[in-house]
Structures are given as structure tokens and as C-alpha cells.
Amino acid sequence: MYHSNSMSIFCIIAMEFCERFSFCGLRTILSLYLRNVLCLHENAATVVYHYFIMMCYMMPLVGAVLADNFIGRYNVILYFSIIYLLGTILTCCSSIPPLMLPATATSMTGLALIATGTGGIKPCVAAFGGDQFRLPEENQQLQRFFSTFYCMVNLGGFVGMIVTPVLRRSVMCFGDDACYALGFGFTSLLVLLSIIIFVLGKPWYRIKKPRHNVTLKFINCAWYAFTKRLRYNAAKDGHLTHWLDLSAEKYGDKLISDMKVVFSILYMYLPVPIFWSLFDQQGSRWTFQASRLRNEVFGLTLMPDQLQVMSPAMVLFMIPVCPGGAWPIIPDMPPLQKMFIGGVLAALAFVSAGILQIGIERSTLQVPGQQQTGLVFLNTLACAVDIEVHGIGLASVEAHGTTLMTPLPHEALSITTCCPSDCAGRAMRREKVIENIRTVAGMFMPIIIGQNSDDKLTLYMMDPNPFAKSLTGKPKLKVVFIGETGPNKNVTIAIETEKRLSNIYYVSNAPVDNIGESAYMCLQPGKFSWIASSASEEISGSGEGYLRAGGVYVLTLRERLGRLDEAVLHAPNAPNELNLAWIIPQYFLISLAEIMFAVSGLEFSFTQAPKSMKTITIAAWYVSVAFGNLIVILVAQTKVFHSRATEFFVYAAVLGVAMLLFLRMAQGYEAHSIEGDGSSSESRPLLLHKSRVVSVHSLSTSTRGGFNCLASSAGSFLGLMETEQPAVWPTRAFVNLATPSSSDNMATTLAKEK
């Protein structure tokens, strides 16, 4: 491997691979589980998802403080991994109906434990791996370790985002065609495996005892200066150049100088949460959006949660051609300028998402407003029928067709229906019907056009219905039976899918107005078969149909003279029309934005932060992600947007304004060159500075940030070996790790992997 303790390195890398596989797989199916199984509204599911992500990025602060001050990195990784395991087990148990646990409460508890566990170990694993090397003798091996470590981390996340949704979809369990219990259970096994691997490596580990952490000193110094500033009297105490100078007497000039640099970096972070508020919606809003698209691609059926894998896949291919890659086609530029461009690209990604959402909304039946209604005519006859709504207008319903009239005023409506006397070879004894309809606000009034046993044109009124698409994106099917059932017929209609999942509708023996309708059934897209039968065997029949994703269907069966006369499949709300290919542009833009923004942000942080303060800056980077998710939570909770497209456009506009503000702030930023002793000195504006050394790492906020293995294997990583050059970007800091404090910060270059 890398040195004599190769087994310790292997155990650390294998442990992290399993943990990333588990976490990214769980996160990929989480939003759909919240919506589809726990039956949360999309806004509520979005809130819970982003609370979870926010907590994942707040807990690293706790893990770092415990590791550096109290129990050490090994114990933090072990104890928080056990908490992580308990969380995955609880989440799995919540998705197993026979256990009869309170699903929502159990799931929320499990997610809280998972966020605590993964967040606590996040800042410790890579640093613990760095502890296994003796510096500076093993600098070269250390560099190779981090390169391999980061690639395996991203590989684990990438595979998890593919495999876990497949497990959820491909297996039926507990009477459902989606097995979330298997997806969550598999993640539990991976966490257990990661703990076993990690513990087995203990005999080979070099375990360092915790020592003083500058993080606590930073907080104490800032608090001391802040409280003293509140009591400061300029006339009495003299001129004050900086509020931190008030604590110089107690904490020393060196710490104060470094803290001033850090606060100047934190100032540049102020617009950063806006970027993360958009970026992390790939796992919530964008996943829900994908469920409204046609998921058949080249004969394959893709799941909405699987689409999240597009981002790391695109990053994988784009890293080599971006600034700092092996074959850059985009010119290199200063870090802050790249961050600005990345933010603009993210805004454009949400413009693309908004445009797609407009297309989705236009192709989807919209529910009438509060003071409006709509009429839906379902024709079971084999001939066309003309409809006149008095005072509104005319419409025609083709044979076995469906016609909608919406929006209409919420008031009593008079409807005249006419059909030809010869309806496809059948003589109609009544060709015209006039009905008065009482409407319901905010709902459609479904009307089935048929004929009774005397061959008279007849209208049958279904219950008011919004015909809303399913939350899961699956097709919905309702069975309607028209005819005289009687007390002894016991008519049943069985629906069976290709996966042999069946639903049975028992028609009432005394239906009102000779019409009975079932509840909606959510089925998998594809073929289905139906069989109608009665105890007397008078009514019998069977047939097949095809359901497409997103459609709302009504299977109408009509009885005449004791026999099944007609069976028609209607689609009042058409299936998803737009293809999944339309979502690719926004994923392409957000992936490119991640490379430009996330990598450059960490490059800026590490080239500017003093050595003793790198943990502080990366902690602030974590917090910026947490605040970004908090923004999404607040927007979803307030429900200020009635249109999802409008919400996307507002997000894009806010980020655009934030990036213009960021550019203005960057123009006034004075760069700081960090000397070997960790002290800082001011230099020219960073916006005008360009790094000689390419940046091949993808220090992203998630494993959606993809691989940098391609770039490093292509040769760009050779820049790490130029030890005679000053470290000007995060990964090159690995070369200068001879100082005692630097080994504590080795994890920071990997800090934004999830």
C-alpha cells in the first residue's frame, strides 16, 4: 500500500467507502419516502429533507470539538458510527408495516440519529487517516492516500445513488411494489460493515491523544472582544482600529492577526448560503419535478431518485476540461471570479428548471380555483356526442373519448346532451337529455355518458374529483361500474399488474343511481389486466390496458341486460408528456456550477486562511451549507409561491443578485499571503491573482460532486510533487505538513465530501 501500516490505511478507506455508499443511497430515496410512504405534502417533505441536510452540516462542529479536545478522533468515529447505525436501523424499521411502529416518529428519530452520526464523523475520518503517516518522511505517501481516499469516497456515493433506488424499485415487499425497507436495510448493513472494518484495523492504527484546539480559543477570543466592544468608550480608551484588538492583551497579537484574516474570509461567505439553497434542491424539488416527466428512455424505465446520479456523472466527465483539470478548455481564472461564474451558472440552472416547470404545468390538468369548477365528460358510447352547457358554450365528445370544460363559474349549470339516433349500429330510443348540475368549487364534476337497459341516452354523475396526479408519479386508476347489480349478483372487478399485484373492487349491491366507483389505485406503469365477475356468472368479462406514468385513469364498465356491454379506459388527466431529456440542461448547468463554485470556494478558503485557522474556515463552510438549507425550509414553510415555476425563477433571481453583490465584495477584498509560521500579510486584491498550480480536486458539498480520479490520473496531480513551490491551493497544503498543527488539518481538504 503506502507504508508499513498499509492495513490501517486500507481499513480507513474501506470504512469510508461503505459509509458514503450508505449515506448517499439513503439520501437519494429519502425525499420520495417522505412523500410516498409517510404521505407528507411536497412542501413538508422538502422541509424535512433540508432539516436533515442542515443537521448533517451542523454536527461536524460537535465532532471536531470532541475529537480535538476530549476523546480523540478514533473514539469520535467509533461512537458516532454506532449512533449512525442505530439511526439507519430505526429508519428501516419505520418502513416495515408489520412492526406497527409509528412510522413518522420513528423515521424522524432515525434521521436525527443518522445526521448526528454522519456529521460527527465527517471532519475526523480523513484527518485520522493522515495521522497514520509520519511527516515529513511520508509526504508522498500522504498525497497518494488523499487522492485514493477522495476517489473512493466519491465512488461509494456514486454507486450508492445508483444501487439503492434499484433495490427500492426492483423488489416487492409487504404488498407494495416499492420496497423502501430493503433500501434502508441495505444501508444499515453497510454501516455495520464499516464499523466492523474500522474496529478490525485498531491494532494497526496510530491513535493520537486530543490536545488544545484553536477552535475553542477562537470562539473565546471573539466573544471576549465582542463583549468588551459593547462596553468600549472611544473617548476614554482611545482610537480603535479593529474590534478584535480589544482582546490582544489577553490572547496575543498572533492570534488576533490570524483571526482578522479569518473574519475577512467569513465576510466573503455571506452570499454563499444562497448558492447552497439552490444546489441542495436536487434531492428535493428537482426529484419531485422528475416524477412529473416521462420516465421511459430507450425502453428503460428510470426512477426520479435515480436522476440525481446525473450530477456526479457529469462532474466526472467535466472535471478534466474545467479550470485546473487535465485538459482544460476553459481558461483559468482567480478563485473568486470562478465562484461568481459558478453562482451565475446555478442561477441559470434554476431558470432552466423554471422553464421546464412551465411546460409541466401546461401539460397537466390544473385543478379549478376556489370560485371555479370544471366538467369532465367520459363517453362510453361508440359514437360521438354533442354537449351544450347553457350560457357557456358547446363541446363534442368523440366515441369512447374524454372532454374537459374548465374553468367554469361555480354555479348551477344546465347541460344538454345529444347523440345520433343510430349510434354505431345501435338504435337509440332517446337521443337527447337535459340535466341540471350542481357544481362544487375547486373540483371537477365527472359525467359519464352512457345508455340504460332501454337503450336511452343517460348521464351518470360521479363524485366530484380533482383528478390530481399521484405524489409518487405512478398512474392512478379508478374503476366505475354502471348498471343494475341487485342484491344477489355480488359483482367484483379484479385488477392485476404485470408484477402480479392485485386489487379487487366489490361493487355495491345497491348503488345510488346505478353507478358505483372504487377508490383510486396507484399502480406501476405498464400493462394491467382486469376481470369482472358476479356470483350468478351473468356478468363476466376481462380485458387489458396500458398505464403510463403520471396519468389519472378511469376504467368504465357498463352493464346492459345483465351482461357486460362496454369497457372503456379514460384518462381525464393525461400521463406525463415531457421526456426526461428536458431535465438534462439544468443538471448540466448545476454540475458545472458545482465545479466552479465549490472547488474554488475551498481553494480561496485554504489559500487565504492561516494554518492554525483552517479548521475554523472549513467549519464556516459547513455552516454556510446549513444556512442554505435553512433558506429552503423557510421558503417551503411560508408557502408564498402557488406556482413551482415562479418559485424557481425567484430563486434564480435572488442568486443572481447575490452573485452581483459577491462580485462587488470580491473587488474590494485584499488577499493575504500565508507565511510558513502561519502569520499573514496583506497583498494585492485576490480577484486579480491567478494560481500557477492547477486544482484537480473536487472538494464539493456532496458526492454529487463527482470524481477527481480522472484528472489526477491524467497527470494534473503531479503538481502536488512540486515541493519547492509555495502551497497556493488546498491540496498542495499536503506537502507542507511538517509542522505539528498541520496534521490536525489534513482532513480539511476533504471536508466537503458528504
pTM for the model stands at 0.73
**Cα–Cα dist 134/206, whole Å:** 10
DSSP annotation of 323: T
**Cα–Cα dist 187/26, whole Å:** 7
CATH C-level class of 1-211: mainly alpha
Tens of pLDDT, residues 680-707: 444 444 444 443 333 333 333 343 333 3
Between residues 4 and 335, the one the model is more confident about: 335
**Cα–Cα dist 643/641, whole Å:** 5
Kind of pairing, strands 670-674 and 680-685?
A: antiparallel
For 27, phi then psi, to 5°, come to -65, -30
Type of residue numbered 623: V
- For residue 687, count other CB atoms closer than 10 A to its CB: 18
For residues 29 and 179, the answer to whether their CB atoms sit within 8 Å is: no
Which CATH fold would you assign to the domain 252-363+577-754? Growth Hormone; Chain: A; (1.20.1250)
What pLDDT is attached to residue 143?
64
Q: Where in the chain is the domain with CATH 1.20.1250.20?
A: 1-211, 252-363+577-754
DSSP annotation of 492: E
Answer whether residue 753 shows pLDDT above 90: no
What pLDDT is attached to residue 234?
59
Answer whether residue 750 shows pLDDT above 50: no
β partners of residue 414: 436
Between residues 136 and 350, the one the model is more confident about: 350
The set of cell numbers assigned to 739 is 509542522
Q: Which sign does the torsion angle of CA 81, 82, 83, 89 carry? A: positive
**Cα–Cα dist 666/309, whole Å:** 33
**Cα–Cα dist 21/198, whole Å:** 15
**Cα–Cα dist 81/16, whole Å:** 11
Mean pLDDT, residues 576-586: 89
**Residue pointed to by grid coordinates 449512533:** 83
The set of cell numbers assigned to 752 is 466537503
Query: Is-cis flag, bond preceding 136, omega within 30?
Result: yes
**Cα–Cα dist 415/412, whole Å:** 10
**Cα–Cα dist 295/580, whole Å:** 6
**Cα–Cα dist 11/594, whole Å:** 30
User: Is residue 545 helix, strand or coil?
Assistant: strand
Q: Which residues of 94-128 are buried (b: 16+ CB within 10 A; e: fewer)?
A: bbbeeeeeebeebbbbbbbbbbbbbbbbbbbbbbb
Mean pLDDT, residues 201-224: 82
Answer whether residue 306 shows pLDDT above 90: no
For 425, phi then psi, to 5°, come to 90, 0
Q: Among residues 113, 111, 89, which one has the least CA distance to residue 40?
A: 111
- For residue 705, count other CB atoms closer than 10 A to its CB: 29
**Residue pointed to by grid coordinates 467509533:** 78
Q: Which of 91-100, 307-316, 375-384, 471-480 has the lowest mean pLDDT?
A: 307-316
Cα 370 to its chain centre, rounded Å, is 31
**Confidence label for 745 from pLDDT (cuts 50, 70 and 90):** very low
User: What beta strand segments (E) does 677-744 contain?
Assistant: 680-685
625: number of CA atoms within 13 Å, CB side? 31
Tens of pLDDT, residues 234-279: 555 556 678 888 888 888 888 888 888 888 888 899 999 999 999 9
Answer whether residue 5 shows pLDDT above 80: no
**Residue pointed to by grid coordinates 482582546:** 247
CATH C-level class of 469-575: mainly beta
For residues 449 and 493, the answer to whether their CB atoms sit within 8 Å is: no
For residues 661 and 352, the answer to whether their CB atoms sit within 8 Å is: no
Kind of pairing, strands 492-497 and 476-482?
A: unpaired
- Average pLDDT over the chain, rounded to an integer: 80
Answer whether residue 588 shows pLDDT above 80: yes
Superfamily of domain 366-459: Domain of unknown function DUF5300 (2.60.40.2890)
Answer whether residue 48 shows pLDDT above 60: yes
Mean pLDDT, residues 37-64: 86
Answer whether residue 86 shows pLDDT above 90: yes
535: number of CA atoms within 13 Å, CB side? 9
**Residue pointed to by grid coordinates 428536458:** 582
The set of cell numbers assigned to 103 is 412510522
- For residue 617, count other CB atoms closer than 10 A to its CB: 23
For residues 480 and 516, the answer to whether their CB atoms sit within 8 Å is: yes
Q: Where in the chain is the domain with CATH 2.60.40.1120?
A: 469-575
What pLDDT is attached to residue 727?
31
DSSP annotation of 743: G
Q: Where in the chain is the domain with CATH 2.60.40.2890?
A: 366-459
**Cα–Cα dist 131/123, whole Å:** 13
User: Is residue 385 helix, strand or coil?
Assistant: strand
